[in-house]
A and B are shown apart, each in its own frame.
Chain A
């Protein structure tokens, strides 16, 4: 009898010892799934944000988006074309391998290899040189004052691990390829992925050996991520307490989340600008009844489209007040460099004016209107399809018949992005990863150049050589005042050309349980290292 009691007590003690002290679990849900664990596989905010908890770059961004040292402790300009980065010592990858300069050189080559979706992180002509085990030089052909601003999402991978597991080449998600790195992770970050089932669940635990554990804010020991595609189901999961945090929350459900005891909305402006693009390079417009010419080549037609769209109505009805109509293609948020102050009255939207729009169409020779196809994602941005449907009805009022083709983002992006560019009129959103105008000018407004990657996301192939020349100067100018002036000049030109029709910046909408405290980043990345669980 006594022996039995003794054994039972011993077993209990053993179980208690095996349990981690005070397990704090964070459970969250997102609209889309995590398609790959390879940090170079997909240049998309959610994927980059998720893997940013597991991998780290040389620099990182704080909750206020300010750049902080991470795997590099400091950096300096040795000569105008040579940047020197001093690496943090004593950092270990999750598998125990030491982090050193070889890993940085390896990662710099891997991120620029074929199959990587993040090629623009480091220009192809930049030479990466190892000085010693903890010093790396980046040699550019021209001075580049903002070389590292997008490196918070350039994760450093372990060279030995990648080579041992045959994962040296990055695998493109769009091509549907996979290798060891798409299913496993080995970063230096605060969390380690323990299990990953695509479309079902991904779990991670805290990294006990993280270099920054001394200054850590969070108290999370385990993280469970569940993708929930249906808006109604995701909100229900939050309200019922199945998840502690869910995003995005559809605009019509904000009052419900706030009225429910124990959950609240966390809403802030997002840096993403939603805009409409027009095909300006084909000689004959696709999906149109106009044959032999392209109406969008005529600036009057682009202006007519711009003036036909009532962006305030979209804000009021479709976005339920949760958007900021924008004249610029970059967000007027603090920390964004838009040339002077972006809220500068020099930049304002063209007025909504149906009669002027009709007049412009008549002047351009389309007084009877015309037909055009429009491509639109239906699960990428906040109320994307509803915005497109609203645009269709607004353009119908000036006589333009728009045939809407709204489809899921996977199909949409495969259709409209290069190389196909199979679209004549489309809705897209853009967040400059560097929070700098140069990113937007180069990616969305640059004349397309296959070799340099200029204009890679310029789907309508807008091209103004003067803007291109300015963009090049913006990249290499180191004087902040002069640089701001150039940015402003470039924006004035592109807005004058009506290269795009900017609509608004949407709001970041997170539903959060009062069991957790999170910090919201304006780029909509969810960093677990700022989370505390009560």
Chain B
């Protein structure tokens, strides 16, 4: 009972806060948030709302391939947005594809966040040789384009793993490859904030009363450096979704039997000039809108959390 009262309390406090006010006063942000939430829900519930399971070869009928969207001549009410070259319903493929893109995007961002924040915190708080080492590694990595590193890791993982495991492991490999290629931003930001925070009185006080280093880092410093991390995390989510699509477009991402948005674009690309535009255009629109929406949210969050901009 007490817990419920407390959460209702904090909900009212949130409604009363500056952050919520700035959210309410930006229409674009509200639209972006609505679209993002909608995509998440669609992705989560896709097995129940999709008209067809596009990953089940037995559900596909080759004779229905290349059906145009329902409003075009030759369209079929069964396939609202048409079908691809294998007779896969585009709407279902989009729902399932967005699900893979989001899972990989989230997975990679969380992986990068945990790794980057951990290393940044240690580097900033401990300093010295450890700081130097972590930051030099970060410098070296940031001098290569993210997508190149993701390609490299992906290629190595495919070389090491046995062929049979490729399809099952494809998503984990993607998450790992994209995650490890984007931890640097987190680490740098957290290190900077940590170095500022560690000299403040509350940290000194905690040290004086004899708390352990790890405890101080996690319980006292970490909550105070998380603001910027949330902003980077949101923007990183958009970048991760794009990276996944780029890798899949290049044919090294999710397997064609379980297409993500990038794989769908890759397949549709072959038919773009020959009149079957819907196979590439719809995944393209969904991908662009999703990334834009997440980016707008990230932008807004940056402004809202920055007291100087208020």
Contacts and interface: CB of A to CB of B under 8 A. Distances in A.
B131 interface: no
Contacts of A231: 270
Interface residues of B, number: 25
Nearest to B274: A252
A406 B164 CA distance: 13
Interface string A371-405: 00100000000000110011011111100001111
Contact of A396 (B58, B87, B167, B273): B58
- Chain A residues touching B, range: 20 to 34
A313 interface: yes
A525 interface: no
A389 B58 contact: no
A392 B163 CA distance: 18
A389 B274 contact: no
A294 B288 CA distance: 48
A317 interface: yes
B60 A393 contact: yes
B269 A232 contact: yes
Interface in B276-310: 276
B273 A394 contact: no
B57 interface: yes
Per DSSP, chain B at the interface is loop
Given A389-B86, A393-B57, A403-B167, A256 B62 contact: no
Q: Which of B61, B163, B164, B273 has the most CB of A within 10 A?
A: B273
B57 A396 contact: yes
A252 B60 contact: no
A393 B270 contact: no
A253 interface: yes
Given A252-B270, A313-B63, A396-B58, A390 B86 contact: yes
Contacts of A317: 62-63, 65-66, 85, 87
Given A389-B86, A393-B62, A396-B56, A250 B270 contact: yes
A252 B268 CA distance: 12
B199 to A, nearest CB: 57
B86 A393 contact: yes
A310 B163 contact: no
B274 to A, nearest CB: 4
B271 A318 contact: no
Closest 5 CB pairs of A and B: A396-B58, A252-B274, A396-B57, A393-B57, A317-B65
Given A313-B62, A386-B85, A402-B57, 4 more contacts: A232-B269, A317-B66, A385-B256, A392-B57
23 contacts: A232-B269, A232-B270, A232-B272, A250-B270, A252-B271, A252-B274, A252-B276, A255-B274, A256-B274, A287-B164, A314-B62, A317-B62, A317-B63, A317-B65, A318-B62, A389-B86, A389-B256, A390-B62, A393-B62, A396-B56, A396-B57, A396-B58, A406-B256
Interface of A: 231-232, 235, 250, 252-253, 255-256, 287, 310, 313-314, 316-318, 373, 385-386, 389-390, 392-397, 402-406
